Structure 1
Amino acid sequence: MTIHLSSSGFVQVLQSLGIAPEDASAQVSLPAGQTEGLLSPADAGSLAPAFSATLTTTDELQALSGIPPSSPPVGFPVTLSVFAIDTLIIRAGQVLTIQGNPGQPVALVVNTLVLERSGLLRCAASLILNVQTFTQEIPQ
C-alpha cells in the first residue's frame, strides 16, 4: 500500500526494523457497528498483518521504545511481531486487543493513532508502542 503524508520518524522506525514503508497498512479501524477487533500475528481475523523483526542490541530497543539501555526488559537477540500502521482509529465504544505469540513481545508502530472517547486499546502481550502522533478525545 502507498503511504501518504507519513512522518519521517515513522518511516525511519519502519526502515530500522527492515520493513518497507509501502508495506505498512495505510489505515486500520474496526468496521462500523463492530465493537471488538484484534491485532494478532497468529489469527486470520487480524485487522492488519504482522511482520517479524529482530533486535540485537539495547540501542535498537531504545530507538524503538525509549527504554534506557541500562534496564532492558528482554534478552538479546529478541524477535518481535510488528504491526506497522499509518493511521489506526479506535472509535467510541470499540475495543482493539493486541495479542502476540507466546513469549514474544509485540511492537505497534503507528504514524497516527486516533482514540475516540470510550475507545480502548487492550494489550494481551508485552507491547512496545511507537506512535508519532496521538489524538485522544477527552470527555468534558
Structure 2
Amino acid sequence: MKRLVYLFSLLVALTAMQACQKDDPEPTPPVVGRWTLERVRFSGYPAPFTSLNADETPSQYGLSGSFSIKADKNFDETFGANGRIVDLKGSWELSNNQLQLKYDTGDDETYELDTSREPAKLISTAISAVDTLRNPQTNVVQAVPFKYQFVYSKQ
C-alpha cells in the first residue's frame, strides 16, 4: 500500500511539474529591429533612357529614412526629404514575406522582406512617376515614365 501511495504521489508531482513548465517563446519575427534607407531603385525607363535604371544613394536626392519595428506590432519611422524631417508611427503585420505598415494617419504601405542575403532588405512597392528629360538622340524634351522603390537594410 505504501508503494502505491508513493507511485501516486510521484505521478501527481510529475504532472504538476509538467503543467508548470513555460511554453517555448514565439520566435522574434525577422522584421523586428532597426532598418535604414540604403538605396533608391529606379526601373522602367524606356530607351534611350535605360541607363537610368539603377540603384542610387538616397542622399543624392536629399532623402534619408529609418524604421524601428517593434515586437509589439508597432513601428516608428523617421523620413527626411530635402531637409524636412517627418516622424510617423503605426502598426504592422507580416504575412508571406509581405510587410504591411498601417500608419496612424490612415495611410498604408507594403514592403517585401528579402532575407536571402545579409543584411536582410525591405523593398517598397514600385511607385510610378514621370520625369521631364531631354532625349539624347533627338535633343527634344519629353515626359518619360519610370518607377522607383525604397530599399531598406536591417541594421
Q: TM-score normalized by structure 2?
A: 0.23
Higher strand proportion, which one? Answer: 2
Which of structures 1 and 2 has the bigger CA Rg?
2
TM-score by length of 1: 0.24
